[in-house]
Structure 1
Amino acid sequence: MTHSALLNIDVQRSFEQKDFWQQDDLPAFSQALIRLIDGCQTRDIPVIDVFHVNPDGVFSLDSGLVTPMAFLTHQPQHVVHKHVHNSLTESGLDAWLRERGITHLIIAGMRTEQCCETTARVASDLGYTVTFVTEATLTFPMTHASGVTLSAADIKLRTELVLADRFATIADVDGALAELDHAV
């Protein structure tokens, strides 16, 4: 795992403008993500900020909101823009990682079940080893067409269930950092 990188996916101000935005889980998420970023940077693991960009609306570059959320103060080693749910297929990130011999991706960011989970699945299919740090992901309750609402915790649990032992190793921040320490 010495050839690792942290993908910090879609932690951007655009989300704060959406009608589903909630602050409930933000304090725990921000603390976990900061610990993960700091831990990776202390270990010389590159941190890549990934931003979702759409042609219009709050995810457009013209909106001025495709910038890190206020709690983030790190300097990423690389920044990419994506236009699809996964971070790898059209952003140039896959080539950037391969040029540097990176074979292990640590995934964190927003939304757990969308861009984070999709990136984990695609990364696995592309041959990367993946560590999914659920503690350092954020999502929001969603209501199914049947009327059943899943809480953010339910969605995270479901994501862990479908990724574990197939697409990724599931870890908390301490576990992900310990994994890096044992790889040296």
Structure 2
Amino acid sequence: MTALVLIDVQKGLQETSFYGTERNNLDAEKNCGKLLRFFRTKSLPVFHVKHNSSNIDSPLYPNKMGNDFHPEVRPLISEPVFEKNVNSAFIGTNLEANLKAKHITDVVIAGLTIEHCISTSVRMASNLGFNVILVSDATAAFDKIGYDGNAYSAEVIFHSELANLKDEFATIMDTDTLLGKLELNI
């Protein structure tokens, strides 16, 4: 069975001023919403993961508006929410146990950001034995300054992460390709 795992699709990850950089793929949340609507329509399982930052200055700090889910992906009462304060959706949560209890073998992962919680969670899901599909246009990256002081654009970070995860940890697909394949297999 296939499930959707939406990770950290929260308002605060649109606050680029906090991160001091530019973000690519401003349609990531819209595509996460498109995935969510499809999974709901087909009565497929959906799991939400929310990051609660321990940094009081972070927009993802609990009780700040940025900690709220993005309007495109607000969970229904019937959809489980797992709260975390580290990069992995599986550390300190019972996400793995819940997926296995529902006999989930394949996970579709989408959310923010690819260089942090998405990459970590994709790698961990794969290492835990799940077949992982990462939805490329339903995630995004921020610009980074490297260890060498060089600036790397969000696009370079984004595509590097996708290249690192491809095949070894996940199958990479865009939203429309994935939804077309799922439609044929349901």
What TM-score does the superposition give when structure 1 sets the normalisation length?
Answer: 0.87
What's the counterpart of residue 103 of structure 1?
A: 105
Equivalent position SS for 1:131: strand
| Between 145-154 and 94-103, the greater mean CA deviation after superposition | 145-154
1:149-169 CA-to-partner distances (Å, cap 9, x unmatched) read 222221121111111111100
Could you tell me whether the CA contact under 8 Å between 1:112 and 1:134 is conserved in 2? no
What TM-score does the superposition give when structure 2 sets the normalisation length?
Answer: 0.86
1:95-122 CA-to-partner distances (Å, cap 9, x unmatched) read 1111111111111111111100111100
What's the counterpart of residue 112 of structure 1?
A: 114
CA distance in 1 between counterparts of 2:122 and 2:25 reads 22
CA distance in 1 between counterparts of 2:52 and 2:67 reads 7
Residue 91 (structure 1) shift: 0.8
CA distance in 2 between counterparts of 1:31 and 1:13 reads 12
Tell me the C-alpha RMSD between the 2 structures.
Answer: 2.1
| Between 59-68 and 80-89, the greater mean CA deviation after superposition | 59-68
CA distance in 1 between counterparts of 2:181 and 2:154 reads 26
1:10-30 CA-to-partner distances (Å, cap 9, x unmatched) read 11133327233657632x223
1:19-53 CA-to-partner distances (Å, cap 9, x unmatched) read 33657632x22322221111222222222211111
Q: Percent identity?
A: 29
Equivalent position SS for 1:138: coil
Could you tell me whether the CA contact under 8 Å between 2:50 and 2:84 is conserved in 1? yes
Residue 56 (structure 1) shift: 4.4
Residue 70 (structure 1) shift: 3.6
Unaligned runs of 5+ in 1: none
Q: Would you tell me which structure has more strand in proportion to its own residues?
A: 1
Distance 1:60 1:135, change over 3 A: same
Unaligned runs of 5+ in 2: none
Give the total of aligned pairs: 181
Equivalent position SS for 2:139: strand
What's the counterpart of residue 42 of structure 1?
A: 41
1:60 pairs with 2:61: yes
1:141 pairs with 2:143: yes
